[in-house]
Amino acid sequence: MKRVLARTVYMVVVLVLSSIAVFYAIRLSGGDAVAARVPASASAEEREAVREQLGLNDPFHEQYFDYMGRLFTGDLGNSLTNNAQIGKLITEHGKNSLILGAAAFALVFGVGIPLGMLASLRRNSWWDGGIMTFSVAGMAVPNFWLALLAVWLFASVLGWLPSAGCCGPKQLVLPAVVLAMEGMALTVRMTRSAMLENLNQDFVRTLRSGGLSESKVIGRHVFRNALVPIVSLAGLRIGQIVGYALVVETIFGWPGLGQVLVNAVLRRDYPVAQFFSLVLITIVLLSNWLADVGYTVVNPRLRRG
């Protein structure tokens, strides 16, 4: 319990610090937020007036407290470019991101763990060799490059899948696989090594001496032990998926949070960029927190004392 509480406090502190970092970083990145708001023909005075009206001439810290104050009253503000309500943007695009992220997450563990187990149980076989080669490739190829290769092969050459779009199952396949690839490859490796390590533990011999079947010994006991390191890093995998989603959503034209954030940053749409960043940061922090709690659940040695 103490551990969970400590992690929660830690999470809040990190969130506050990141909000400051995000707020300053986007203002320090140059460009002009007003450009999106006024016609290109507007005079210097007109631009200055809009800037004043948006409070962009105030000192940074005043702008920050002003913004955070409004956030806490539930006023998320509007986009500078098209005046869309940010709350609405979040729900619309969040849904798409959730679909993509969940699909990738399911692939990372739903495919990664079974492949890793297969490799460990058929150690040094062709299965093992094939799976591990796939895994090394999955980690080595950068996802933007993999995305381009996938589009070229499956959309242009074979014509099996659309190259971009939203939001049917067909359009989901390529971005989900590309988004999941690195995490999946890491999960395969980790599952394999954790399984092999635990297969050599003394307790396996004890369980066999108790007359348990191999499926119980391996499928239940060795697997549960191997799950400890895998679950403890599940939070990192989520963080990875959130981060990579910016790239993958942009490449595949998947209208999720990542795509909106990238566009907002490019246009210096401060309110959108700030809030979307905070949302993504919160997701990453929450997933790490969940992984910590999950680690305590799968590893009884951390529960007491």
**List of residues contacting other proteins (CB under 8 A):** 201-203, 205-214, 216, 221, 224-225, 228, 298-301, 304-305
CB of 211 to other proteins, least distance (A): 4
Whose Cβ is closer to other proteins: residue 84's or residue 233's? 233
* Assigned token pair, 211: 């007359």
CB of 2 to other proteins, least distance (A): 17
Judged by CB, which is closer to other proteins: 18, or 225? Answer: 225
Q: Classify burial at 170, counting beta carbons within 10 Å of its beta carbon; exposed 0-12, middle 13-18, buried 19 or more.
A: exposed
Question: Would you say 179 and 100 are in contact if contact means Cβ atoms under 8 Å apart?
Answer: yes
d(CA 149, CA 234): 27
Q: Contact at 8 Å (CB) between 161 and 174?
A: yes
Closer of 254 and 295 to other proteins (Cβ)? 295
- Of 160 and 203, nearer to other proteins (C-beta) is 203
| Helical H segments across the chain, by residue range | 2-28, 44-53, 60-72, 86-110, 112-121, 126-140, 143-150, 169-199, 202-209, 214-216, 223-232, 234-252, 257-266, 270-298
Residue 139 CB, nearest distance to other proteins (Å)?
28
- What is the Cα–Cα distance from 29 to 34, expressed in whole angstroms? 14
By C-beta, is 68 or 199 nearer to other proteins?
Answer: 199
User: Whole-number minimum distance, CB 228 to other proteins, in Å?
Assistant: 7
* Closest distance to other proteins from the beta carbon of 214 (Å): 8
